Chain A
Amino acid sequence: MNVTFHSPVPKAALDNKSNMRGSKKKFTAEHEMDIDDDEHHHENKLEGGIIKDPTIHVVTPAEVITSDAAFMRGHGTYVEDEKVLSSLAGVVERVNKLISVRPLHTRYAGEIGDVVVGRITEVAQKRWKVDVNARQDAILMLSSVNLPGGVQRRKQESDELQMRNFFMEGDLVVAEVQAFFGDGAYSIHTRSLKYGKLRNGSFISVSPALVQRCKSHFHSLSCGVDVILGLNGYIWVSAHVPQSLDEIDTEQVYSNKNKEDITPSDRESIARVVNCIRALAQDYIFINDSIISFAYEASLQYALKDLHKRHVMHDIATEAVAAVDSIKA
Chain B
Amino acid sequence: MSRVELLTPEGLRVDGRRPAELRKITSTTAVLSQADGSAYLEHGNTKVLAAVYGPREARHRTLVVHDRAIINVEFNIAPFSTGERRRRGKNDKRLLEMASFIKQSFEPVVITTLYPRSQVDIYLQVIQQDGGVLQACINAATMALIDAGVAMTDYVCACTAGWVEREAAIDLNHIEESSDTSEVTIAMLPKSGKVTLAQMESRLHVDKLEALFTLAGEGCKQIHQVLDRTIRNRAEELAQKLAV
Contact = CB atoms under 8 A, between A and B. Distances in A.
Contact of B148 (A85, A106, A137): A106
Interface stretch (A3-11, A128-136, A237-245): A128-136
Contacts of A90: 149, 235, 239
Contacts of A105: 30, 36-37, 147-149, 238
A56 B238 CA distance: 11
B70 interface: no
A47 B148 CA distance: 22
Contacts of B30: 105
A140 B237 CA distance: 37
B155 A58 contact: no
A123 interface: no
Contact of A76 (B116, B151, B237, B244): B151
A88 B234 CA distance: 13
Nearest to A90: B235
A137 B111 CA distance: 20
B202 interface: no
A284 B192 CA distance: 35
A76 B150 CA distance: 9
Contacts of A254: none
The residue in A85, A129, A135 that gathers the most chain B C-beta atoms within 10 A of its C-beta is A135
A72 B1 CA distance: 65
Interface string A35-61: 000000010001110101101101011
A91 interface: yes
B114 to A, nearest CB: 9
B117 interface: yes
B237 A61 contact: no
A62 interface: yes
B221 to A, nearest CB: 12
Interface residues of A, number: 42
Contacts of B178: none
A135 B153 CA distance: 19
A135 B55 contact: yes
A185 B243 CA distance: 29
A58 B235 contact: yes
Interface string B36-72: 1100000000000000001111000000001001000
B116 A104 contact: no
A98 B116 CA distance: 24
B115 A135 contact: yes
Nearest to A122: B57
Given A48-B237, A286-B244, A88 B151 contact: yes
Contact of A285 (B33, B57, B241): B241
A247 B239 CA distance: 45
Contacts of A80: 153
Interface string B19-40: 0000000000010010011000
A58 B236 CA distance: 6
B93 interface: no
Contacts of A129: 57
Given A91-B239, A185-B117, A61 B152 contact: yes
Given A105-B148, A282-B33, 18 more contacts: A48-B233, A48-B237, A52-B236, A53-B239, A56-B236, A62-B191, A76-B151, A88-B149, A88-B151, A90-B149, A90-B239, A91-B239, A104-B149, A104-B238, A121-B57, A284-B241, A284-B242, A286-B244
23 contacts: A46-B233, A47-B233, A50-B236, A50-B240, A52-B236, A55-B243, A56-B239, A58-B235, A60-B235, A62-B189, A62-B191, A88-B149, A89-B147, A90-B149, A90-B235, A91-B239, A103-B149, A105-B147, A105-B148, A106-B148, A136-B57, A284-B238, A286-B242
Q: 6 nearest interchain CB pairs?
A: A106-B149, A103-B149, A135-B55, A62-B154, A104-B238, A87-B151
